Amino acid sequence: MNFICFNGKLLPGHEPVLLADNRSYRYGDGLFETMKVIRGNIMLESFHFDRLFTGLSLLKFEIEVLFTAQKISRDILALCKKNNCFGRARIRLSVFRGGGGLYELASQMQYLVECWALDEAATSFNENGLVIDIFPHARKSCDKFSNLKTSSFLPYSMAAIYAKDNRLNDCGVLNTHDRIADTTNANVFIVKGNMIITPPLSEGCISGVMRRHILTTFPASGISVYEKPLEIKDLEGADEVFLTNAVKGIKWVKEFRNKFYTCKSASEIFRML
């Protein structure tokens, strides 16, 4: 039996915990973090909680005194032990306002932690490159909420369905300027000559934890990463394309439409990380 952690209490995973008036269900009024635990350590933990608390403040949550990064970290690791995946696990932490109408908040913030055993292959460098395309049916706005991982995930979920229907590994999501924002679950990087480029946050992409890690640590290693708006033609003209997220790390793209890529830089970056 798999367990969950709901507001600090370990409960059987099959037990219902959310009511019909849950605001995350009704309005997408919440945030989530997807994390990776390796040997009892939450990878890039400080970046995850910095993003979470920044988002909660932006969404005007009244943060409980006991809701701290230290408390949630303990809950996450306790749940991993309970579910026998302390060595390698994928975590989803959801935070939401529990109930109420659109203008009335009837309950305080709540949180839910889920965890699953993570296969080692999911975090290794992909020998077979990804095949991607662009999701044509939605555009992502570029506003102050665009960088958050909110419960309102419709463009990404539909892009994932589109990718599956078209036998793709992933799909790029465009912003309202018809430029690259990100993909269904990752940030986008391209390699062109000796430059590594990723869209800036102003382009509406999720403020990815692995993206931040690369931008923060690479300059110290003598590797320059540039933030610059990317168009579809930039993907078509790139030498390499790779995707990043907190759980999978780095995955290289083999094919975008009629363009094929190598993975020399991506594999070197993976080894560095």
* pLDDT per position as a tens digit, 40-97: 999 999 999 999 999 999 999 989 899 999 999 999 999 999 999 999 999 999 999 8
**Separation of alpha carbons 250 and 240, rounded Å:** 13
CB burial of residue 166 (10 Å; 0-12, 13-18, 19+): exposed
**pLDDT > 70: what percent of the chain?**
99
> What angle is formed at CA 92 by the lines to CA 90 and CA 94, rounded to 5 degrees?
170
Q: What is the pLDDT of residues 96-112, one digit of tens each?
A: 988 777 877 666 889 99
Structure tokens at 226: 């540039």
- Tokens 């659109």 correspond to what residue? 102
Residue type for position 61: F
pLDDT in the model for residue 107 = 65
pLDDT in the model for residue 131 = 98
**Separation of alpha carbons 28 and 154, rounded Å:** 10
Which helix (H) or strand (E) covers residue 92, if one does?
Answer: strand 88-97
pLDDT-derived band of residue 183, with 50, 70 and 90 as boundaries? very high
Give 3-122's CATH code, choosing from 3.20.20.70, 3.30.70.20, 3.30.470.10, 3.10.450.50: 3.30.470.10
**Separation of alpha carbons 197 and 189, rounded Å:** 6
Residue type for position 162: Y
Average pLDDT over residues 188-206: 96
pLDDT-derived band of residue 223, with 50, 70 and 90 as boundaries? confident
Q: Give the domain ranges of the chain.
A: 3-122, 130-272
pLDDT in the model for residue 116 = 96
pLDDT-derived band of residue 257, with 50, 70 and 90 as boundaries? very high
CB 156 within 8 A of CB 128: no
Dihedral, CA atoms, 243, 249, 250, 254, nearest 10 degrees?
-70
Residue type for position 32: F
Average pLDDT over residues 146-159: 95
pLDDT in the model for residue 178 = 97
- Name the least confident of 70-84, 170-184, 209-223: 209-223
pLDDT in the model for residue 220 = 78
Specify the DSSP class assigned to residue 151.
Answer: S
- Name the least confident of 17-31, 74-88, 223-237: 17-31
Structure tokens at 217: 């640590």
Dihedral, CA atoms, 122, 51, 174, 27, nearest 10 degrees?
100
Residue type for position 170: D
Average pLDDT over residues 131-143: 97
pLDDT in the model for residue 174 = 98
With 70 as the cut, is the pLDDT of residue 27 above it?
A: yes
CB 80 within 8 A of CB 37: yes
Question: In the 3-class helix/strand/coil scheme, how is 243-265 assigned residue by residue?
Answer: EEECCCEEEEEEEECCEECCCHH
- Name the least confident of 20-24, 120-124, 143-147, 229-233: 120-124
pTM of the model: 0.94
- Name the least confident of 78-92, 119-133, 140-154, 198-212: 119-133
Q: Which CATH architecture has domain 130-272?
A: Alpha-Beta Barrel (3.20)
Average pLDDT, the chain: 94
Query: How many of the other CB atoms lie within 10 Å of CB of 41?
Result: 12
Residue type for position 150: T
